[in-house]
Amino acid sequence: MPGVAQRTVDYARNYRRRALRSTLLVAAVWTTGGVAAILFLTSAGTAPFGTVGAAVSSLGIIAGLVGTDFILVMIVLAARVPLIDRTIGHDRAIAVHRSLGKPALYLLLGHGALLLIGYGLEQGFLPFAELGPMLATPNMPLAFIALGLMIVVVVTSLVAVRRHFSYEGWHVIHLLSYVAVAFAIPHQLSLGGVLANGTLPRVYWITLYVLAFGSIATYRVIEPVVSTFRHRIRVDQVETIAEGVVSIHLSGRALTSLGAVGGQFFVWRFWTGSTWWHSHPVSLSSVPTDGTARITLRDLGDGSRRILSIPSGTFVSIEGPYGLFTPAARTAPKIAIIAAGIGITPARALLEESRLSPGEATVLLRTSMDDRYLWDEVATIAKAKGAKFYTMTGPRATSGARWMPQRDAERGVSLRSVFPDLLDSDLYVCGPPAWLELIEAEAVAAGLPAHRLHSERFDW
């Protein structure tokens, strides 16, 4: 069987490489923060902690440097840099981005407060009495505005607050963070000796900004515009395949050069009068050809209902491809795929993309209702590639393994019984978050290492 002999991909080695890259990325993030603090210590003159006032001021400056470094790291993480996306995936990048938000804000608030107190102590003034001279210093009013904007941005991103905004409203507020970062630059460069003109610390600092804003400009602005106009994607046909579920067939030019892989998603924007302001992250539901692509999405409220009825010929702009729900993420000799509901879209494309030997893959599809759209396509591909194919239908069990139907749970079905080779497999799971977490928990309990678990949450 020549097909088998050809394909001895060393998944373990791929994984080790990716793990090393991931370690290096994390190390780079910590290093930038550490260097920011060291910048101050190396340039702080003789006694940065000589008096209480000086010590408080010094801590304030360090807090500002490290806090700003966090913000710049957050910008890079949100920039969808290909290297980061390929290494840890967009989801984890955004999770880290979120987890840095509050610490960064606390550091910047601390920066302001500590300097007020520190200079107050040094001058023998009350902290509030320092506000006047501070505001009278060039570039400082801008810096205060920047801090105010940053507070707004972080507060509106807290889960409890964000719920009250539409995605678009929140996003516009979030864009203010760029204004905040820009407003904070002048006071960093013009005041304080740490980043003095013509010094290496200043070069380092400027480099961080070039990387952060360069990443955003390149991958969030320029690349989408260039891709959009290069590939000229239009809606060919909107095909309703189930109640509230449509496949959108798209045509464009030179689509294979996008480098999109089955399992990845794009952020799509459909340029009709009622839908252009709303962008949609949607997975490919089949591997694109050079001239065509297909996505499948379900009406989840919001703007997505209007998409069900967009006319043929509508111009489509794209950002992407993104995502690590792909064969590139594999680390083990076998592959297990579970998908529920609309989660079938990336699972189907992933299966189509994968080069498999018979018995290498096992697929389980799950629905609690009766919508089995795309199931026949998955069945066909599974058969062609020699993958085992199972299904589970019916309402969720109320006890036992609640991610499967009641009768299966009662029979004692488990991940290990469906996927006997689970521990030698990469497990790809795609579906609603609550359901997905049950499977993740069972997989981890069964002994599956975290790096072999690849999930894609469909909560949009």
Partner 1 sequence: MNTRQALTGIFATATVIIVGWQVGAVALGQGAASSTSSTATTTSNPASGLKSGTYTGSNEQTQFGDVQVEITVANGTITDVKTVVLTGNEGRSDQINSQAAPILRSEVLSSQSANVASVSGATYTSDAYLTSLQSALDKAKG
Partner 2 sequence: MRHVFDSMGTTISVELDGTADDAARVEQIFHGFDRRFSLYRDDSELSRIAAGRLDLVDSSDALREAYALALEWRTATGGVFTPHRPDGVIDLNGVVKALAIERSGQSLGSDWIVNAGGDILISGADRVVGIADPVDRAALLCSIVLTGRRRAMATSGSAERGDHIWGRSPEFAQATVVADDIITADVLATAIIAGGSATLDDVTAQFDVDVLTVDRDGQLRATPGIRTALATGQPDSEQAEA
Q: Which stretch binds partner 1 (CB under 8 A): 16-24, 127-135, 199-207, 337-345?
A: 199-207
The smaller minimum CB distance to partner 1, of residues 199 and 292, is found at: 199
Find the part of the chain contacting partner 2 (CB under 8 A) among 196-204, 288-296, 329-337, 448-456: 196-204
Question: Which tokens hold the place of 148?
Answer: 């105010």
- Taking the complex as a whole, the smallest distance from the CB of residue 312 to partner 1 amounts, in Å, to 26
Asked if 85 and 219 count as a contact pair (C-beta separation under 8 A), the reply is: no
- Contacting residue, 15, 119, 183, 268, with partner 2 by CB under 8 A: 119
Binding residues among 22-61 for partner 1 as defined by CB under 8 A: 46
SS3 167: helix
The verdict on 5 binding partner 2 (CB under 8 A) reads: no
**Residue 395, Cβ neighbours under 10 Å: how many?**
9
Instruction: With beta carbons less than 8 A apart as the criterion, state whether 295 and 238 touch.
Output: no
Taking the complex as a whole, the smallest distance from the CB of residue 62 to partner 2 amounts, in Å, to: 12
Nearest Cα neighbor of 269 from 303, 300, 296, 293 is 303
| CB-based burial, 81-100: b 16+ in 10 Å, e otherwise | beebbbbbbbbebeebbeeb
Helices (H), 216-343: 223-231, 304-307
- Minimum CB distance to partner 2, residue 57 (Å): 8
Q: DSSP code of 284?
A: B
Binding at 189: pick from partner 2, partner 1, none (beta carbon under 5-8 Å per type) = partner 2
According to the binding rule CB under 8 A, does residue 440 interact with partner 1? no
450: contact with partner 2 by CB under 8 A: no
**Three-state secondary structure call for residue 301:** coil
Stretch of residues binding partner 1 (CB under 8 A), selected from 56-64, 104-112, 118-126, 223-231: 223-231
Consecutive H or E run containing 374: none
The neighbouring-strand residues paired with 366 are: 340, 392
Q: How far is the CB of 133 from partner 2 (least distance, A)?
A: 6
Q: How far is the CB of 210 from partner 2 (least distance, A)?
A: 18
Cβ pair 119, 59 in contact under 8 A = no
Q: Is 399 in the site for partner 2 (CB under 8 A)?
A: no
State the virtual CA torsion across 305, 309, 315, 318 in degrees, nearest 10: 30
Nearer to partner 2, 191 or 397 (CB): 191
203 scored as a contact of partner 1 (CB under 8 A): yes
Stretch binding partner 1 (CB under 8 A), from 121-129, 224-232, 403-411, 415-423: 224-232
Per rule CB under 8 A, is residue 132 in the interface with partner 2? no
71 binds partner 1 (CB under 8 A): no
Residue type for 328, please? A
Binding residues for partner 2 restricted to 169-188, rule: CB under 8 A: 186
Determine which residue in the list 158, 172, 210, 384 makes contact with partner 1, applying CB under 8 A: 210
Provide the edge-to-edge strand list for the sheet that holds 425-431.
388-393, 361-367, 334-340, 425-431, 453-457
C-beta atoms surrounding 8 within 10 Å? 8
- Binding partner at 9 among partner 1, partner 2, none, C-beta below 5 to 8 Å by kind: none
**Which one-letter amino acid corresponds to residue 61?**
I
Of 207, 274, 380, 391, the residue at the interface with partner 1 (CB under 8 A) is: 207
Cα–Cα distance measured from residue 404 to residue 162, given in angstroms and rounded to the nearest whole number: 32
Question: Of the candidates 142, 189, 361, 353, which has an alpha carbon nearest to the alpha carbon of residue 264?
Answer: 353
Interacting residues with partner 2 (CB under 8 A): 43-46, 48, 54, 61, 119, 122, 130, 133-134, 136-139, 186, 189-194, 196-199
Interacting residues with partner 1 (CB under 8 A): 46, 82, 198-200, 202-203, 206-207, 210-211, 214-215, 218-219, 222-223, 226-227, 230, 257-259
